[in-house]
Amino acid sequence: ASINHPNSVYIFGTEEVAGTPVISMELLSGGTLQDLVQKHGPMPPGKAVDAVLQIIAGLEAAQKAGILHRDIKPSNCFLDEDNTVKIGDFGLSISTAVRTEPALTADGSFLGTPAFCPPEQLRGEELNTRSDIYAVGATLFYLLTGRTPFEARNTVALIATVLEKPAPAPNSLRPDIPAGLSNVVLRCLQKIRGDRPAGYSELARAL
């Protein structure tokens, strides 16, 4: 609710209804970016980049409010009636004002979606902006190719693949993707945090 930005789902407030906690937020009728790709296939590079620049704007606003999202993926990016892209589903988000807990629950189960999570999140390490930038890169990969950067037959194999194998170049799967754009995506998907863009403004300039 502390984020007030055109590229973030607006939260009206919280209350209890018949003993059930409720968060009320704006209704977005356009579905998600995942819905869009599943219905129409991979997006043209220009439109995919435009969508991701809007995601970055929303995440930058969250960062200024001291919030790390931790769960950016196409199904958490919503479309308004005018096709504005808004980040939503802050269910795993944390405040950056205090030292954060590892991204694991008490019983050791993982929080997040492995196909879009950076290696450090899968290892339960402390996260920062570059961790969300990885997820932005994975989201852009999906918008451009219609698939995730890493695929496997089960969750255990998928996690191992994310931790160990380099991502394929998007333009190796779809030749009409410009080489420069493909390289930006690969920079976001680097295993080592320091090899990714340092912040959202740097990533936006590269895109």
E strands along the chain, which residues? 11-17, 20-25, 67-68, 77-79, 85-87, 94-95
Q: Is 110 helix (H, G, I), strand (E, B) or coil?
A: strand
**Residue 135's pLDDT is what?**
93
The single residue of 35, 50, 71, 132 carrying the catalytic annotation is 71
Lowest mean pLDDT among 104-108, 170-174, 190-194, 202-206: 104-108
**Residue 107's pLDDT is what?**
37
Distance, in Å, from the CA atom of 54 to the CA atom of 187, rounded to the nearest integer, reads: 19
Query: DSSP characters for 113-134?
Result: -GGG--HHHHTT----HHHHHH
Query: For 19-68, how does the pLDDT look when each residue is reduced to its tens digit (9 = 90+)?
Result: 999 888 888 889 999 999 999 999 999 999 999 999 999 999 888 887 77
Closest CA to 9 of 65, 66, 58: 58
CA 60 to chain centroid, in Å, comes to: 13
Closest CA to 117 of 191, 43, 27: 191
Radius of gyration from C-alpha coordinates of the chain: 17
pLDDT above 50 (res 111)? yes
Confidence band for 110, pLDDT divided at 50, 70 and 90: very low
What's the N-to-C CA distance of the chain in angstroms? 29
Cα separations (Å) of 86 from 53, 55, 59, 106? Answer: 11, 7, 10, 31
Confidence band for 126, pLDDT divided at 50, 70 and 90: confident
Cα separations (Å) of 63 from 13, 57, 93, 94? Answer: 20, 10, 11, 11
pLDDT above 70 (res 105)? no
Write down the mean pLDDT value for the chain.
Answer: 86
Distance, in Å, from the CA atom of 96 to the CA atom of 99, rounded to the nearest integer, reads: 7
Residue 195 annotated to the active site: no
